[in-house]
Amino acid sequence: MSNTAAAKPETVTLTDNQSGKQVVFPVLNGSVGPKVIDIRKLYGAVDMFTYDPGFTSTGSCESAITYIDGDAGVLLYRGYPIEELAVHSDFLETSYLLLNGNLPNAAEKAKFESAITRHTMLHEQLAAFFRGFRRDAHPMAICCGVVGALSAFYHDSTDIHDPHQRMVASHRLIAKMPTIAAMAYKYAIGQPFVYPQNRLGFAENFLHMCFSVPCEPYECSPVLSKAMDRIMILHADHEQNASTSTVRLAGSSGANPFACIAAGIACLWGPAHGGANEAVLKMLGEIGHKSRIPEFVARAKDKNDSFRLMGFGHRVYKNFDPRAKIMRETCYEVLNQLGIQDDLLELAMELERIALEDDYFIEKKLYPNVDFYSGIILKAMGFPVSMFTVLFAVARTVGWISQWNEMIGDPEQKIGRPRQLYTGSPSRSYVPVAAR
């Protein structure tokens, strides 16, 4: 490949060393980050596909929402560093930013908060859906089902070609996810559903729906509501991760936004993705004591052992995940302010220390990711492990729906339909069973 002079449009040239044929591809520049080679005409030119399982070197779309510099450990939401938003902003303001592209002024902020607040209730018939599940159903299974069912109740916001309906559906999803998550939790523990309270802030309202009971007043600790709000900011969006790519692919067929978000929830559930926070707590429980850390670190390094250190490593971050740093600080703050001495935190800190000094993790650039500490805080707040990924989904809904809106509004958008390297049988004739 060769790069031509900057004066002319930048291109790269591919040479097929069998046929000698050369094809020139344009290079596209973003605002920051790696350039891309526009290979859209490749198949037509050389009758070959690219091959990139897991899309490690493939840009699937153009986006202006979130930017990650994995080597520098940088995460920007619409250009704002996550460290600044985590300290100075709140989840609904950050949601407005992700959805609309800029921070709201005071009037825009108040209007958005009011719109979200007034969409937090669920259609009363949806409560019946929960009763169809076993009490021991995983809350992610319930969320997948109930969110998908929203499209059966909110027909007036499923026309994806109507910008107003798209925004109403976006507000409904952001607003109703905490209510659905809280109802899934209440259903699991056999307590009555708690209605949202419009007088409460977003995170406080969620904690109130989860932890209040009709028999006595519930005062939410400002420490916990602030920590919950910050955890939601940290999880709100993250470029074209697996679940966001799932939402985009589902949306590319024209599916309604509720169905697309249900697909994103399903993908997030996997332990390699959003399910990792639940897996971290189970792993720490299995390790049990710091004397056993070397045993598990050795297993994580053993190619013949499928065990991996959950909460470590990342497709993009080859430096510290900036969210993990903020999560660790928040973990300390919450546990100290609640006066909780959690052995799991000590164990996690020791595991992090040992792993980060180990050549295997250093060489492979494996650092703690956002999931490594989040579970410890959520456990301290009183959530069961099974709710951890649900909380991730509550926060990521705004990222998913912002990316979905961006895709629907992209004039170059078309249905996603990847090709393949076929390694199956060439054409062969049917053989009757008697002759097999």
Residue ranges binding ligand SDX (CB under 6 A): 54, 238, 241, 272-274, 276, 300, 308-316, 364, 366, 369-371
Closer by beta carbon to ligand SDX, 208 or else 235? 235
Q: Quick check: 247 and 106 in contact, CB under 8 A?
A: no
Closer by beta carbon to ligand SDX, 24 or else 272? 272
Closer by beta carbon to ligand SDX, 115 or else 326? 326
**Nearest Cα to Cα of residue 397 among 275, 253, 238:** 238
Closer by beta carbon to ligand SDX, 109 or else 308? 308
Give residues with Cβ within 8 angstroms of 38, minimum separation 6. 25, 26, 27, 28
Shortest Cβ 242–ligand SDX spacing (Å) = 6
| The two structure tokens encoding residue 376 | 């410890």
Rounded CA-CA distance 282/299 in Å is: 16
Give residues with Cβ within 8 angstroms of 333, minimum separation 6. 223, 227
Shortest Cβ 251–ligand SDX spacing (Å) = 17
Shortest Cβ 358–ligand SDX spacing (Å) = 10
Q: Quick check: 143 and 184 in contact, CB under 8 A?
A: yes
Rounded to the nearest 10 degrees, the angle between the axes of helix 242-252 and helix 257-268 is 150
Q: Quick check: 262 and 237 in contact, CB under 8 A?
A: no
Give residues with Cβ within 8 angstroms of 414, minimum separation 6. 252
Shortest Cβ 71–ligand SDX spacing (Å) = 14
Rounded CA-CA distance 263/252 in Å is: 13
Question: Which residue has its beta carbon closest to ligand SDX?
Answer: 313
Kindly list the distances between the CA atom of residue 240 and the CA atoms of 65, 315, 317, 433, in Å, as whole numbers in the listed order.
10, 11, 13, 48
| The two structure tokens encoding residue 83 | 């460290």
Closer by beta carbon to ligand SDX, 166 or else 396? 396
Rounded CA-CA distance 1/263 in Å is: 39
Q: Quick check: 276 and 106 in contact, CB under 8 A?
A: no
Closer by beta carbon to ligand SDX, 304 or else 427? 304
Rounded CA-CA distance 428/353 in Å is: 58
Closer by beta carbon to ligand SDX, 171 or else 314? 314
CA dihedral 387, 390, 392, 397 (to 10 degrees): -160
Closer by beta carbon to ligand SDX, 81 or else 222? 81
CA dihedral 311, 389, 173, 253 (to 10 degrees): 70
Shortest Cβ 301–ligand SDX spacing (Å) = 7
Shortest Cβ 252–ligand SDX spacing (Å) = 19
**Nearest Cα to Cα of residue 45 among 67, 72, 22:** 22
Strand partners, 28: 36
- Residues that are catalytic: 314, 371
Shortest Cβ 223–ligand SDX spacing (Å) = 25
Shortest Cβ 89–ligand SDX spacing (Å) = 18
Closer by beta carbon to ligand SDX, 139 or else 313? 313
List the helix and strand counts (H, then E) for the chain.
18, 6
**Helices marked H in 255-414:** 257-268, 276-287, 293-301, 322-337, 343-356, 359-363, 371-381, 388-408
**Nearest Cα to Cα of residue 391 among 167, 233, 218:** 233
Shortest Cβ 370–ligand SDX spacing (Å) = 6
